[in-house]
Amino acid sequence: MTAELTADDLKAYASTIGGLRPVPVAVTTVHGGRANGLITLSGGPASIIPEAPRLVVSITTYNFSHDLIRDGGVFILHTLSNAAELIETSLEIIRTLGGRTGRDGDKISGLRTRPGVTGAPILLDALTYVEARVIRSLDNEENTFFVGDVVGAGRLNAGGKLDIGAAWTGLGKEWTDAYEHDHEAQIDDSRARRGLPTSHS
Ligand SMILES: Cc1cc2nc3c(=O)[nH]c(=O)nc-3n(C[C@H](O)[C@H](O)[C@H](O)COP(=O)(O)O)c2cc1C
């Protein structure tokens, strides 16, 4: 129970995990003909077997993509390019997928895509992509860890991986302030799902 942690504990926790996951990824999915996607820092490998790779992502229960991945069982993880000619496009992908929920309307049709082997949309302006079919999931009340077998992958564009530092700088203070403000609702929803006091209680 987090209430027993001191302010120093929380500070040390923040400095321990800070920077451990430096690369934002765009995750897309599809279910019942509805495609969607979001941005997450939670993407990573989930197997040590080189010829049979697996992926893991942690998706907040509050988010629309969570329900589509849970129900459709597929996702595609994309890295974004930091090449000078693509960085603004990469930032636009983050603004489009990470700035509002697909529950309020389609976010995918404004992006350049083609369907992957999973049927989920591959973002053609991303740097690289990996497609996965979910084999297990772990429901943690506030989020679900989805683990998938890799069923396809490709390189799409030039450049290195856009990291979160460059992304926050490029997105600008106005966008990041609005994001932090909107994010409060999902943090509160997560508190409620774990039986913790919310900012309104
Ligand atoms: C840098 C960054 C990291 C994020 N990390 C996560 C994450 O780990 N898990 C998650 O579910 N959402 C994460 N989000 C938030 C979602 O991308 C955002 O809430 C999105 O609008 C959800 O869209 P959806 O409701 O259409 O799925 C992150 C957003 C940004 C910009």
pLDDT score of 89:
98
pLDDT score of 57:
98
Is the C-beta atom of 96 inside 6 A of ligand 1?
no
Q: Tell me the per-residue pLDDT of 26-53, one tens digit each, with 9 for 90 and over.
A: 999 999 999 999 999 999 999 999 999 9
Cβ atoms within 10 Å of 87's Cβ, excluding its own:
17
Per-residue confidence at 3, pLDDT binned at 50, 70, 90? low
Q: Whose CA is nearest to atom 6 of ligand 1?
A: 40
Q: What residue type is assigned to position 97 of the chain?
A: L
Cα(40) to ligand 1 centroid in Å equals: 5
DSSP E strand stretches across the chain: 25-31, 34-40, 44-45, 54-60, 74-79, 113-115, 121-123, 128-139, 143-155
- Tell me the C-alpha distance between 24 and 125, whole Å: 15
Residue 153: inside a domain, yes or no? yes
Residue 35: inside a domain, yes or no? yes
CA–CA distances in Å: residue 127 to residues 71, 83, 90, 145: 27, 9, 9, 24
> Domain of 129?
20-193
Q: Tell me the per-residue pLDDT of 67-94, one tens digit each, with 9 for 90 and over.
A: 999 999 999 999 999 999 999 999 999 9
Reply yes or no on whether the pLDDT at 59 is more than 70. yes
Residue 156: inside a domain, yes or no? yes
Q: Work out how many domains the chain is built from and give that number.
A: 1
Q: State the CATH number of the domain containing residue 47.
A: 2.30.110.10
Cα(98) to ligand 1 centroid in Å equals: 5
Q: Taking Cα atoms as reference points, which of 31, 43, 24 lies closest to residue 121?
A: 31
Residue 46: inside a domain, yes or no? yes
Residue 60: inside a domain, yes or no? yes
Is the C-beta atom of 59 inside 6 A of ligand 1?
yes
Is the C-beta atom of 58 inside 6 A of ligand 1?
yes
